[in-house]
Amino acid sequence: MAVTRLWGSDPLGAISGRDDVSERRRLPLREIANYYCSHNGLFRVIPQKIKERRNSQIKPRILIPSAEIEAGVTRLATDIRRDYQGVNLILISILKGSFIFTADLIRRLDLALEVHFVQLSSYGKKTESAGKVQLVQPLQCSIKGRHILVVEDIVDAGYTISFIMEYLRGEQPASLKLCALADKPSRRLIPVTIDYLGFTVPDKFIVGYGIDWDEKFRNLPDICALEDEG
Active site residues: 156
The footprint of ligand PRP on residues 89-148 (CB under 6 A) is 94-97, 121-123, 129
177, 149 in Cβ contact below 8 A?
yes
Q: Interface with ligand PRP includes 212 (CB under 6 A)?
A: yes
* Nearest residue to the partner ligand PRP, using Cβ: 97
CA separation, residue 94 to residues 43, 53, 152, 181 (Å): 22, 27, 6, 12
Q: Give strand pairing partners of 196.
A: 179
Question: Toward ligand PRP, which CB reaches closer, 77 or 94?
Answer: 94
Picking from 201, 224, 202, the residue whose alpha carbon sits closest to that of residue 213 is 224
Q: Interface with ligand PRP includes 208 (CB under 6 A)?
A: no
Least spacing, CB of residue 123 vs ligand PRP, in Å: 3
Work out whether strand 89-95 and strand 147-155 pair parallel, antiparallel, or are unpaired.
parallel
Does a cis peptide bond (omega within 30 degrees of 0) precede residue 177?
Answer: no
Least spacing, CB of residue 43 vs ligand PRP, in Å: 12
CB contact set of 24 (below 8 Å; sequence gap of 6+): 11, 12, 13, 14, 166
Q: Coil, strand or helix: which one is 55?
A: helix
Question: Toward ligand PRP, which CB reaches closer, 147 or 153?
Answer: 153
CA separation, residue 93 to residues 30, 63, 98, 178, 229 (Å): 19, 23, 6, 10, 33
**Mask 145-184, x = binds ligand PRP (CB under 6 A)?**
-------xxxxxxxxxx-----------------------
Question: Toward ligand PRP, which CB reaches closer, 90 or 182?
Answer: 182
Question: Toward ligand PRP, which CB reaches closer, 25 or 46?
Answer: 46
Q: Which residues of 53-63 are buried (b: 16+ CB within 10 A; e: fewer)?
A: eeeeebebeeb
Size of the site for ligand PRP (CB under 6 A): 20
Least spacing, CB of residue 201 vs ligand PRP, in Å: 12
The footprint of ligand PRP on residues 19-38 (CB under 6 A) is none
Least spacing, CB of residue 110 vs ligand PRP, in Å: 27
Question: Toward ligand PRP, which CB reaches closer, 78 or 169?
Answer: 169
What are the backbone dihedrals phi and psi of residue 85, each rounded to the nearest 5 degrees, phi first? -60, 130
Least spacing, CB of residue 133 vs ligand PRP, in Å: 7
Residues that bind ligand PRP (CB under 6 A): 94-97, 121-123, 129, 152-161, 211-212
